[in-house]
Structure 1
Amino acid sequence: MSIAEELQQELMRVRREAIELHSADQVQEAIAKLAFAVTEAYSGKVPVMLTVMNGGMIFAAELVKRLDIPLEMDYLHASRYLGETSGGDVEWIVTPNASLAGRDVLIVDDILDVGTTLLSIIDACKAQGAASVKTCVLVDKQHDRKAKPGLKADFTALDAADYYLFGMGMDYKGFWRNAPGIYAVKEH
């Protein structure tokens, strides 16, 4: 069996055995509610929405089409994972092009796990002179390993138990970001 065939078999097994934590409909409903809160919070402002790649892109696409405010969109790529299943140091791959000086910044990401990457991004935005920096995540993973005790995003769509998650932007070894719900990898 080739390496590609082995990988495909593993990926299909992971998807087939996964535990569905939030269905596609539940995810869409939670994003719609979250969009209302974000729209309300930024009423009268013109924020810069920074999507954290690659994980945040699917969530950001679903969120932004529901926001009834003028905003500028940009992205950045900072990661502790880089295709691995456990994190290391934060590595900056792409920085935003938009000027953040004096701007209200909304950082959009797929998950708040430990929070090291998100805290690093917040600090970078503040260092560039952002007037305000708020965070918006699809999922807050529930555990006691946060980078700072009590760390929470300003806007959170859903909570999830402390599993290895995939779907809606979150990946399993770089794959299954496209799964429409939020799934936990079944432990073997």
Structure 2
Amino acid sequence: MTTMGNPRPKLADALANAELLVDRAAIDRAIAGMAAPIARDYAGEVPVYLTIMHGALPFSGQLALELGARGLDLEFDYLHATRYRGETSGGELVWKHRPATALYGRRVLLVDDILDEGHTLLAVKQWCLEQGATDVRIAALTTKLHARGVPGIHADYVGLQVPDRYVFGFGMDYHEQGRNLPGIYALK
């Protein structure tokens, strides 16, 4: 299999040169901890719950169940916008799927696996507001610790902070591999 014409690096090689930063139990605790403030902030409402594919899929499903356990109903939809397309650095934003749910007059919760610099999330948030969303908030499983963030974007709900390294697992990929790893790893 190739990535943009180059042979895909092997996940096994990456794991052999990586360290486990966050195990599954810590991820589970972080997601459960995020649910209480989200449920409180949306009490009595049914927000549009937009999962950003593919990375947020494991996190989004687990967070949705935690929110349901706290009595919060959600209207599910998804979007797929990417700047990476299998690479390790971002380029131009590419929309692969836009939500079918009307956002006009609605509160939206964007759910993503990581907030790194924020270019993609800022563009997605702006698009939601252009569609008439009255409020757009971001739930990110992880945020990276660095000072390169795009002005005007932040996660309203954060599960974990990770170092400024190449991280993968639990939704985050290593050359489109390893999203289903039950922990978060960083290359050494």
Q: CA RMSD in A?
A: 1.6
- Does residue 93 in structure 1 map to residue 102 in structure 2? no
Residue 91 of structure 1: how far off its partner (Å): 1.0
Q: Secondary structure at the match of 1:65?
A: helix
Which residue matches 2:14?
14
- Does residue 31 in structure 1 map to residue 34 in structure 2? no
Which residue matches 1:53?
53
Cα separation, 2, equivalents of 1:11 and 1:182: 14
Cα separation, 1, equivalents of 2:123 and 2:58: 22
- Does residue 110 in structure 1 map to residue 113 in structure 2? yes
Instruction: Specify every segment of 5 or more residues in structure 1 that has no aligned partner in the other structure, as ranges.
Output: none
Which residue matches 2:133?
130
- For residues 53-109 of structure 1, give each alpha carbon's deviation from its aligned partner in whole angstroms, at most 9, with x where no partner exists: 001111101100110311100000000101001001111110000000000100000
Residue 17 of structure 1: how far off its partner (Å): 2.6
- 4+ residue stretches of structure 1 with deviation over 2 A? none
Identity %: 44
- Does residue 153 in structure 1 map to residue 155 in structure 2? yes
Give TM-score scaled by structure 2 length. 0.92
Q: Secondary structure at the match of 2:105?
A: coil
Q: Secondary structure at the match of 1:99?
A: coil
Cα separation, 1, equivalents of 2:174 and 2:97: 22
Give TM-score scaled by structure 1 length. 0.92
Cα separation, 2, equivalents of 1:185 and 1:94: 30
- Does residue 77 in structure 1 map to residue 80 in structure 2? yes
Cα separation, 2, equivalents of 1:41 and 1:165: 30
Cα separation, 2, equivalents of 1:152 and 1:39: 19
Cα separation, 2, equivalents of 1:91 and 1:43: 34
Of the structure 1 ranges 13-22 and 48-57, higher mean CA displacement relative to structure 2 is found in: 13-22
Q: Secondary structure at the match of 2:99?
A: coil
User: Is the contact made by 2:56 and 2:111 (CA closer than 8 Å) also made in structure 1?
Assistant: yes
Q: How many residues align?
A: 181
